[in-house]
Amino acid sequence: MIARFLSLLLLLYALGFILFSVTLGRPAESDLRTDAIVVITGGKGRIEHALKVLEQGKAKRVLIAGADPLVTKKDLVDRFNAERRLVRCCVDLGSESVDTRSNAEEAQRWLAKHSYRTVRLITNDWHMRRADYEFRKGLDGKYKIFPDAVRTEPAFGTLFAEYNKYLLRRAAVWLDV
C-alpha cells in the first residue's frame, strides 16, 4: 500500500514536471508596445533583448533590476554595442534588489516614480513563471504586465530546481503560509 502511494506521488511529480517543462514562458507579440521595460539580470540574452526592444521604440524606458552596483551605463554601451544616446537617456540601473521578489519591489518604486501603467517583463523562459508570479503579487494589480520570455536551452538541473521552487510556492499558498 505504501509503495503504491509513493509510486502515485512520484508519478504526479513527474507529470507536473513534464507540464512545467512544456509550458515555459514565451516571447511577447512582436508588435507589443508598453510604457516601460523591466529586465531582470542573471541570464544570457535578457539585457540584449531589452535594449533591442527599446531601440525599436516599443517602450519609453528600461529598468535593469538587480544590476551589480559597479556596472555603469558605459559598460552597457561597450558590452552590448548599444546606442550611447539611448542608454544615457532611457536606461536605469537598479541595484537595490537581490532576488525575484525584491526585483518586483524595486520595479514598483521605479514604475510609480515615472507614472507608467504598462510594463514588459523580460527574463528567461524557465524563470518567467516565477517572475510573473512575484511581479503580479508585488505590483498589486496597479500595472498591466506583459511577460516577454527570452528563449533558452535550459539544462535538466535548471528546470528541476525551478520546478521545485514552483511547487514550494504553490504549497505555501495552499497552506496559507
Per-residue pLDDT of 74-98, as tens digits, reads: 999 999 988 999 999 999 999 999 9
- Measured CA angle at 169 (ends 157, 113), to 5 deg: 105
Sheet containing 36-40: order of strands: 91-94, 61-65, 36-40, 118-124, 144-150
Name the amino acid, one letter, at 43.
G
The C-alpha atoms of residue 81 and residue 128 are separated, in whole angstroms, by 26
Computed from CA positions of residues 60, 85, 49, 123, in that sequence, does the dihedral angle turn out positive or negative?
Answer: negative
Phi, psi of 63 (to 5 degrees): -110, 125
Give the model confidence (pLDDT) of 147-177 as tens digits.
999 998 766 777 677 777 777 777 776 766 5
- Measured CA angle at 113 (ends 112, 119), to 5 deg: 50
Name every residue whose Cβ is closer than 8 Å to that of residue 69 and which is 6 or more positions away in sequence.
Answer: 95
pLDDT of residue 162: 75
Q: What is the pTM of this model?
A: 0.81
pLDDT of residue 177: 54
Q: Count the Cβ atoms, other than its own, within 10 Å of residue 11.
A: 10
Give the model confidence (pLDDT) of 7-55 as tens digits.
888 888 878 777 777 777 888 888 999 999 999 998 889 999 999 999 9
pLDDT of residue 71: 92
pLDDT of residue 132: 94
